Amino acid sequence: MTNRECSAGSLKILPVTGENMSGFLTGNRKERGCVMAEIKKKDRQVLGLFTLSMIGVAAVLSLRNVPSVAEEGFSSVIFWIIGAIIVFIPVAFVSAELATGWPKSGGLYVWVKEAFGDRWGFVTSWFYWIANVVWFPTILAFTAATIAYIFNPDLAGNGLYMMTVILIVFWAVTLANFFGMKVSGWISTVGVILGTILPGAILIIMGIWWLAAGNPSQITMTGGSVIPDFSSVENIVFLIGVSLSFVGLELSSIHAQEVKNPSRDYPKSILIAVIIVLLVYIISTIAVAAVVPQHEISLVAGLMQAFEAFFKPFNLAVAVPVIAALTAIGAFALINTWVMAPAKAILVTARNGDLPPILQHVNRNYAPVSILILQAVIGTLLASVFVLMPNVNASYWLITALTSQLYAIIYILMFAAAIRLRYTRPEVKRPYTVPGGKAGMWLAAGVGLAGSVLILIIGFFPPSQISTGSLLFYEAFLFGGIILFTLIPFLVYRFRKPHWKPEKDIDALLEKM
Task: Encode pLDDT of 174-192 as tens digits.
Answer: 888 887 655 556 666 677 7
Q: Give the closest residue to 414 by CA, choosing from 114, 53, 43.
A: 114
Helical packing angle, 89-101 and 262-291, nearest 10°? 160
- The answer to whether residues 244 and 403 touch, using CB atoms and an 8 Å cutoff, is yes
Q: For 481-492, what is each residue's pLDDT tens digit? A: 899 999 999 999
Beta bridge partners, 47, equal 259
CA 168-172-178 angle, to 5 degrees, is 155
State how far the Cα of 155 lies from the Cα of 166, in Å rounded to an integer. 13
Contact assessment for residue 292 and residue 307, using Cβ atoms and an 8 Å cutoff: no
Read off the pTM: 0.75
Locate the domains of the chain by residue range. 3-23+48-510
Q: Which amino acid is at 219?
A: I
Helices 392-424 and 437-458 cross at an angle (nearest 10°) of 160
462 backbone dihedrals φ, ψ, rounded to 5°: -70, 145
**Residue 317 burial class via C-beta count within 10 angstroms: exposed 0-12, middle 13-18, buried 19 and up:** exposed
- Chain-centroid distance of CA 189 in Å reads 15
pLDDT at 503: 63
The CA distances from residue 268 to 2, 37, 48, 108, 445, in Å, are: 29, 28, 11, 20, 20
Is residue 245 within 8 A of residue 278, CB to CB? The reply is no
Report whether 219 contacts 73 (CB < 8 A): yes
Q: How many residues does the chain have?
A: 513
Taking the alpha carbons at both ends of the chain, their separation in whole angstroms is 15
Per-residue pLDDT, 222? 66
Q: What is the largest CA-CA distance in the chain?
A: 78
The superfamily CATH assigns to domain 3-23+48-510 is Amino acid/polyamine transporter I (1.20.1740.10)
Q: Are 241 and 168 contacting, i.e. CB atoms less than 8 angstroms apart?
A: no
What lies within 8 Å, CB to CB, of 205 at 6+ separation is none
Q: At a CB cut-off of 8 Å and minimum separation 6, what does 271 contact? A: 92
DSSP bridge partners of 259: 47
Residue partners of 183: CB distance under 8 A and separation at least 6? 176, 177
CA angle 199, 204, 207 (to 5 degrees): 120
Cβ–Cβ < 8 Å for 510, 106: yes
CB 398 within 8 A of CB 138: no
pLDDT < 50: residue spans in the chain? 1-26, 28-41, 43, 505-507, 509-511, 513
CA-based torsion, 99, 103, 109, 115: positive or negative: negative
| Spatial separation of the C-alpha atoms in residues 107 and 121, rounded to whole Å | 10
At 8 the pLDDT is: 40
What sign does the dihedral 109-112-114-118 (CA atoms) show? negative
Task: Please report, for residues 175, 342, 344, 387, 400, the alpha-carbon distance to residue 171 in angstroms, rounded to integers and kept in the order given.
Answer: 6, 16, 17, 17, 22
> How far is residue 2's CA from residue 512's CA, in Å, rounded to a whole number?
11
Burial bucket for residue 293 (CB in 10 Å: 0-12, 13-18, 19+): exposed
Is residue 203 within 8 Å of 307, Cβ to Cβ? yes
